[in-house]
Amino acid sequence: MPPIAQFVLFDGFDPLDVVAPFEVLSAGSDFIGGELGLRLVSAEGERTVRSGTAGIELRATARLDPELPGVVIVPGASGPIEGDPDDGVETIPVLLARLGQTDAVPLLRRALDNDDITVAAVCGGSLALAMAGLLEGRNAVTHTLGMDVLDATGVTAIGARVVDDGDLVTAGGVTSGLDLALHLLERLYGPQVALAVERLFQYERRGIVWRASGRVPQPY
C-alpha cells in the first residue's frame, strides 16, 4: 500500500505547522507520480477544525488511522503565550494540554507502536506529545520557549532545528516545518526528490539534522 501522510488537526492548531509541510510533501509526491497520499485528519473524524490564528479553519476528511503506513504529522498550537485560563484565555500551553485529553493520544500511541509509521511533530506538537506521556526517554526538539518543559517530561531536549530519532522526527519553531518535511522526503524517496522541491520552493534547508549517531564532540 502506498504511504499516506496524515496531518492531525485539533482545535487551536497552528495553520502554518500544517500548510507548510503539507505543501512540501505534496510537491514531493508530484515529482514521483503522486505516490505519497496526503490527508487532513482529526481524532474525532471528519469535521471542520478551527485554528488558533485569526479564525482560519481546515476540514479534516477522516479519522486519524494508526494502521496506515506512512507519516503522521502533529502540528503545534497558535495563540497567546500568557494569560489566565480562568479568565477564558486559551494560551498555547492550554491548547496543547487539551490535545492530550482527547482521543488523539491513544491513536498516536498506536501510531508510535506501528513499525510502518513515522510520527513527526512541528513546534509545540512535540510538546503536546511529551505532555501526554508519549515521548519519555526519546530525543526531541520543540519551540525554544518550551524546551525546559520538554526536558521536564523525561524527554532529552536537543537544541537542533530537526531531530531524527528513528520513528520520531521533530522540528523546532513554526518555519522549521519546511525543514522537517524536506527531511522526511529525503528519508522516504532520497535526496534528489528533496532537492527538486527545494528548487521549486526556492528554499534551502537550515541547520543540521541531529541523530544519535557518530562521534560525540568533546568540550574545548
Encode pLDDT of 195-216 as tens digits.
Answer: 999 999 999 999 999 999 999 9
Give the residue numbers spanning the domain of 91: 4-118+177-211
Confidence of residue 63 (pLDDT cuts 50, 70, 90): very high
Q: Is pLDDT of 131 > 90?
A: yes
Q: Span 141-167, mean pLDDT?
A: 97
Decide if 160 is inside a domain.
no
pTM (2 d.p.):
0.96
Confidence of residue 21 (pLDDT cuts 50, 70, 90): very high
> Does some domain include residue 153?
no
pLDDT bin (cut points 50, 70, 90) of residue 88 is confident
- Residue 127 resides in a domain: no
Which residue, among 171, 57, 63, has the nearest Cα to 121 in the 3D structure? 171
**CATH classification of the domain holding 89:** 3.40.50.880
pLDDT of residue 82: 86
- For the chain, the domain total comes to 1
- Averaged pLDDT, 64-88: 91
CA separation for the pair 138, 155 (Å, rounded): 5
For the chain, the three-class secondary structure string (H helix, E strand, C coil) is CCCEEEEECCCCECHHHHHHHHHHHHHHHHHCCCCCEEEEEECCCCEEEECCCCCCEEEECEECCCCCCEEEEECCECCCCCCCHHHCCCCHHHHHHHHCCCCHHHHHHHHHHCCCEEEEEECHHHHHHHHCCCCCCCEECCCHHHHHHHHHCCCEECCCCEEECCCEEEECCCCHHHHHHHHHHHHHHCHHHHHHHHHHHCCCCCCCEEECCCCCCCCC
Please report whether residue 35 resides in a domain: yes
In a domain, 113, yes or no: yes
The answer to whether 157 touches 147, Cβ cutoff 8 Å, is yes
Give domain status of residue 204, yes or no: yes
Average pLDDT over residues 43-62: 97
Let me know if residue 206 belongs to a domain: yes
Average per-residue pLDDT for the chain: 96
Task: Work out the average pLDDT over 58-73.
Answer: 98
> Does residue 1 have a pLDDT over 90?
no
C-alpha cell, 205: 534547508
Going by pLDDT thresholds of 50, 70 and 90, the confidence category of residue 65 is very high
Per-residue pLDDT at 220: 85
In a domain, 33, yes or no: yes
Backbone φ and ψ of 13, nearest 5°: -60, 160
Query: Which pLDDT score is estimated for 66?
Result: 98
